Amino acid sequence: MDSDAERFRFQKTNELIRTYIGHVDALLEIGCGEGHQTSRLGEVSANVFAIDISNRAIIRARQRYPRATYDVGGVFSAPLLSSHSFDLGAACEVLYYIREIPKFLARMEQLGRFCLVTYVSVHHDRLAAALANIVNPHFVDFEYHETRWHAAWWSTAETSAADAGHT
């Protein structure tokens, strides 16, 4: 996670947030792992909240970046989710591990005003299909040498408005 490629990905993710999403007061990082990207997300939000299903990863993340608020659990189980609201829910390099991606994305939409996912290109076909049901997603690619990432972000206000139109 300390490679030039990963640092590039962290930088590009932050640029994307600044450029397309704007001010983020409260950011939720879903699947923070050991906090490598968490510390970088602290550059775009003063209030970073991070969850991961691994207690060991959370312990290491707290050591790496103590300014964030951490909780053990997933998007359906982490206790801090019931007591906070978020401007942005970010799941960077996480979708690979999710069994029910549409259900996961729907839960992300309940948690933040904006949602952001990133993933490496080798998983694009499978994950792009899962993202096809998102209302008005925006996509951007970035690459470092031979590694290409895809990022998708969307406003949950647009999703809510579209859902209201279908009732």
pLDDT surpasses 60 at 152: yes
Q: Is residue 138 part of a domain?
A: yes
pLDDT value for 167: 44
Q: Is residue 167 part of a domain?
A: no
Residue-number span of the structural domain to which 76 is assigned: 4-161
DSSP the chain: --SHHHHHHHHHHHHHIIIII---SEEEEES-TTSHHHHHHTTT-SEEEEEES-HHHHHHHHHH-TTSEEEES-TTT-GGGGS--EEEEEEET-GGG-SSHHHHHHHHHHHEEEEEEEEEGGGHHHHHHHHTTSSS-EEEEEEETTEEEEEEEEEHHHHHHHHHHT-
CATH number at residue 15: 3.40.50.150
pLDDT surpasses 50 at 150: yes
pLDDT value for 124: 84
pLDDT value for 141: 95
pLDDT surpasses 90 at 129: no
pLDDT more than 70, % of the chain: 93
What is the value of pTM for the model shown?
Answer: 0.92
What pLDDT, in 10s, does the model give residues 30-59?
999 999 999 999 999 999 999 999 999 999
Q: Is residue 156 part of a domain?
A: yes
Q: Is residue 166 part of a domain?
A: no
- The structural domain count of the chain equals 1
What pLDDT, in 10s, does the model give residues 71-81?
999 999 999 99
What pLDDT, in 10s, does the model give residues 70-108?
999 999 999 999 999 999 999 999 999 999 999 999 999
Per-residue pLDDT band at 123 (split at 50, 70, 90): confident
